[in-house]
Structure 1
Amino acid sequence: MILDCAIIGGGPAGLNAALVLGRARRKVILFDNDQPRNAVTHESHGFITRDGVSPKAFRDLAHQDIRKYPSAEIKKLKIAEVKRESSSLFKLVTHEGTSYLSRKIIIATGLKESLPNVNGIRDYYGKSLFSCPYCDGWELREQPLVLIAENQNASHLAKMIYQWSHDLVICTNGNKIISETDEQLLKKKGIRIKEERIIHLSGSDGKLETVVFEDGTEINRSGGFVTTELKPANDFAHSLGCEVNKSGGIIVDALGRTNVDGVYAAGDTTLAGPSQLIIAASEGSRAAAGVNYDLTMEEFK
């Protein structure tokens, strides 16, 4: 069987693409390796009608929706290789060695993230330390917060966090990353900056309590945010010849098309905006519309 579209990635972008294409009666397989980046998160926010839903519950509900449409399948398989088989077909090979042929491909594999180099930080990530104030700022409102940052996004993120809490300390973990201009501006707002290296974080059951520094000082904080380094989860875009931006995100047009005929991208993998559930889902819908439009036009040539 030749698929109309293979969707690589089972996050919100891939799920919404599968739903739209299933409703369009396209033969689709969604390949999901079941390793979502937001697995550590207890709740997802900012998605109307689904505010506060857990990532697992969201995926389960999405799978139920997709399974209503017989032409759309979900397979828990990891794709190892994607290559062009002919001018009109792509070949996808799973880690188990099974091959699939598809007319179109949507890359919705998302991103991999790395956290600041702080001992024990993963014990708190997704529980009391987060990366997105739009997603989790409300739950941390008016609390004593910390921003642990090792890159140039520190000042920008601190200004955003200020909307939810004015009691904020920026910890740069031994790095000089904030300009003098921004430092003065932040301090005028009462935002403190500590450049000493962090020795460890302390707390219990994922709830942050104290940040301990190399110079022996410590601060009490009940939660906060971290800056993360993001990069593509795989090299499919590179191997297929897709153009990427300076951050490594796949460049797409208004319907999710890449510069490679037959290849589309959606969700965080485009690195085109905020990493949010609702935005990724909408981009999946957009790419699916692009796929369906192009397949329809080809049928009427």
Structure 2
Amino acid sequence: MILDCAIIGGGPAGLNAALVLGRARRSVILFDNDQPRNAVTHESHGFITRDGVSPREFRDLAHQDIRKYPSVQTKKVEIAEIQRESSSIFKLITQEGMSYLSRKIIVATGLKESLPNVKGIRNYYGKSIFSCPYCDGWELREQPLALISESKNAIHMAKMIYQWSKDLVVCTNGNKIMTETEEQLFKRKGIRIKEEPIVNLRGSDGNLEKVVFADGTELDRAGGFVTTELEQPNDLAHSLGCEMNKQGGIIADALGRTNVEGVYAAGDVSVAGPSQLIIAASEGTRAAMGVNSDLTMEEFK
């Protein structure tokens, strides 16, 4: 059987793409390895009617919606390789060696993130330290916060966090990332900068209490934010020949089309901007519309 579309990735982009294509009566398979990047968070915010939903509940509700459409099937497996069988057919091979044929592919695998090299930071990430102020700033409002960053991205991030809390310390973990002009601007705003290396973080049950520095000083903080580095989670997009932007995302047009005919991208994997549940879901809708439109036009050639 040759499917209309194979969707790789079961996050909000892939799930919404499956929903839209199911409603368009397309034969679809959704591959989901069940390892979402937002699994570390307790709640997701900024999605109207779903504000505060847990990532697991969101996924369960999405699968409940998708099951209404019999032309959509889901497989909890990981795709290891994609081959082009012909000009219009792709062969997808799972890690277990199973193969599937599809006319179109939507890559919605998201991105893989790396955190600053700070001992114990994973114990607090997603609980009291976050990467997106739009997602979690409200919960940390007016509290003493730390921004942990080793890159110049800290300059923009600190300005954004300031909207939620004026009690902010930028911790650069031994790195010089700001010019004197930038430091003076932050000083006028009351934003402190600590350039000493961070020895570790202290707290309990994922709740940050102190940032400990190599010079022996300790900083009392109730939580904070971190800048992350993002990259493709696998080589599938590269192996297909997809072009990338400077941020490492797949370049795609308004309907998710990449430079490779028949291959579409949706969600964080292609968006160079905030990683938001609602943005990823909308990207999935747009890519699904691109797939359905192109399949329809091909039928009328």
TM category (shorter chain) comes to: over 0.9
Instruction: Name the residue aligned to 1:186.
Output: 186
Instruction: Name the residue aligned to 2:64.
Output: 64
Question: CA–CA distance in 2 between the matches of 1:180 and 1:294?
Answer: 53
Question: CA–CA distance in 2 between the matches of 1:98 and 1:168?
Answer: 51
Instruction: Name the residue aligned to 1:169.
Output: 169
Partner letter of residue 283 of structure 1?
A: E
Partner letter of residue 12 of structure 2?
A: P
Work out whether residues 230 and 248 of structure 2, in 8 Å CA contact, stay in contact via their aligned partners in 1.
Answer: no
Query: Any idea what SS the aligned residue of 2:51 has?
Result: coil
Instruction: Name the residue aligned to 2:274.
Output: 274
**Alignment of structure 1 residues 120-269 onto 2, 5 Å:** 120-269=120-269
Query: Any idea what SS the aligned residue of 2:292 has?
Result: helix
Q: Give 1:76 deviation, angstroms.
A: 0.2
Question: CA–CA distance in 1 between the matches of 2:235 and 2:135?
Answer: 28
Work out whether residues 9 and 30 of structure 2, in 8 Å CA contact, stay in contact via their aligned partners in 1.
Answer: yes
1:94 aligns with 2:121: no
Instruction: Name the residue aligned to 1:23.
Output: 23
Question: CA–CA distance in 1 between the matches of 2:23 and 2:166?
Answer: 47
Count residues with an aligned counterpart. 301
Partner letter of residue 243 of structure 1?
A: E
Partner letter of residue 124 of structure 1?
A: Y
Work out whether residues 145 and 222 of structure 2, in 8 Å CA contact, stay in contact via their aligned partners in 1.
Answer: yes
Query: Any idea what SS the aligned residue of 2:215 has?
Result: coil
Partner letter of residue 62 of structure 2?
A: A
Question: CA–CA distance in 2 between the matches of 1:101 and 1:126?
Answer: 38
Partner letter of residue 240 of structure 2?
A: L
Question: CA–CA distance in 1 between the matches of 2:208 and 2:21?
Answer: 43
Aligned residues with identical type, % of pairs: 82
| Structure 2, gaps ≥5 residues long | none
Question: CA–CA distance in 2 between the matches of 1:273 and 1:224?
Answer: 20
Question: CA–CA distance in 2 between the matches of 1:215 and 1:224?
Answer: 21
| Structure 1, gaps ≥5 residues long | none
Query: Any idea what SS the aligned residue of 2:100 has?
Result: strand
Question: CA–CA distance in 2 between the matches of 1:132 and 1:227?
Answer: 9
Q: With the length of structure 1 as denominator, give the TM-score of the two structures.
A: 0.99
1:190-241 deviation per Cα after TM superposition (whole angstroms, max 9, x unaligned): 0000000000100000000000000000010000000101001111111111
Work out whether residues 119 and 200 of structure 2, in 8 Å CA contact, stay in contact via their aligned partners in 1.
Answer: yes
Work out whether residues 153 and 227 of structure 1, in 8 Å CA contact, stay in contact via their aligned partners in 2.
Answer: yes
1:261-297 deviation per Cα after TM superposition (whole angstroms, max 9, x unaligned): 0000000001322110000000000000000000000
Question: CA–CA distance in 2 between the matches of 1:178 and 1:79?
Answer: 42
Instruction: Name the residue aligned to 2:299.
Output: 299
Partner letter of residue 142 of structure 2?
A: E
* Dislocated runs of 4+, deviation >3 Å: none
Question: CA–CA distance in 1 between the matches of 2:68 and 2:178?
Answer: 51
Partner letter of residue 197 of structure 1?
A: P
Taking only aligned residues, the RMSD between alpha carbons, in angstroms, comes to 0.6
Query: Any idea what SS the aligned residue of 2:122 has?
Result: helix
Query: Any idea what SS the aligned residue of 1:156 has?
Result: helix
**Alignment of structure 1 residues 280-291 onto 2, 5 Å:** 280-291=280-291
Work out whether residues 208 and 223 of structure 2, in 8 Å CA contact, stay in contact via their aligned partners in 1.
Answer: yes
Partner letter of residue 52 of structure 1?
A: G
